Structure 1
Amino acid sequence: MNLADELRTAAAKIRVLAGQATETPWTTHWNAQEYELIGPSRPYPIAQWTYAVATWEPKASEQRAECDTADADYIAAMHPLVGLALADWLDETARNSEPFGQITTFAVEMARTINGGQP
């Protein structure tokens, strides 16, 4: 497989995964002791994390501020529309490289990471 094909393969994989995912954009919010990842039209959370926090204010807000919600916040920021933009970039990079035969190392590394490793 040549480098442009690696980029196209990664773009196709991202498009399939994004197409199967919940409608976007995603957001996070607190619901009692649950930190939830939600989509705009889904009646229940995409994912949720349970924390041992108080259920009454102001103690609940104080304890929530100390919770590590970084993974959920990252997942929300990297929703499928971001994936589709990445797929477009990979395809465009592959298309533009063909006349010149050059692809940046970054694009190849990105594609190989998505594809699961070396070609």
Structure 2
Amino acid sequence: MTTPAEELRAAAQKLREHAQDATPGPWRQHDTHLDLGGHTATVLSGKGNETELRAWLPTMSHEPWDETRNAWANAAYMALMHPGVGLALADWLDSEAARLTAAVHPDRHETYGAPALAVARALNGDR
């Protein structure tokens, strides 16, 4: 049987591996005008001449803010959740696992670890 602390550590490890493999942040969302006309939402990193494309979310629209495809909200969320955020979340999950193990009776792990466990279970696919 997997303990709540083990679930937290597994999620932290998974998140850390993915974040470390990704391009470092911070990232930002950008409304990009296409040469052939139209707009698309993109996720960029870097500054000035060092700007790099990280993700392109096609809208297939000529409207700059086509809400029906939600590409801009998705790009803004992706940029917000860059690898630096993932690494910070992984550290938090590990610290919550350590706190539960050291200071909370095992019968109370589900209660006192509920917020961190919700994050871990979403990452682990155990919702």
TM-score by length of 2: 0.74
Runs ≥4 in structure 1, deviation > 3 angstroms? 41-44, 65-68
Aligned partner letter, 1:87: A
Query: Could you say which residue in structure 2 is the equivalent of 1:46?
Result: 54
| CA deviations over 1:9-54 (Å, ceiling 9, x no partner) | 100000000011112111111221232111227764211123422x
Indicate whether 1:107 and 2:107 are aligned.
no
Contact 2:40 2:64 in 1 (8 A): no
- Between Structure 1 and Structure 2, the one with more strand by share is 2
Indicate whether 1:70 and 2:78 are aligned.
no
Give aligned-pair identity as a percent.
Answer: 35
Contact 1:7 1:94 in 2 (8 A): yes
Contact 1:7 1:90 in 2 (8 A): yes
2 CA distance for matches of 1:44 and 1:26? 10
Contact 1:7 1:108 in 2 (8 A): yes
2 CA distance for matches of 1:71 and 1:97? 34
Indicate whether 1:83 and 2:86 are aligned.
yes
RMSD (CA atoms): 2.0
Give the SS at the match of 1:64: coil
Indicate whether 1:97 and 2:96 are aligned.
no
Which moves more between the two structures, 74-83 or 99-108? 99-108
Give the SS at the match of 1:50: strand
| CA deviations over 1:48-92 (Å, ceiling 9, x no partner) | 123422xxxxxxxxx424543111111111111111111111101
2 CA distance for matches of 1:116 and 1:36? 27
2 CA distance for matches of 1:77 and 1:35? 14
2 CA distance for matches of 1:90 and 1:26? 23
TM-score by length of 1: 0.79
Query: Could you say which residue in structure 1 is the equivalent of 2:41?
Result: 35
Unaligned runs of 5+ in 1: 54-62
Contact 2:11 2:90 in 1 (8 A): yes
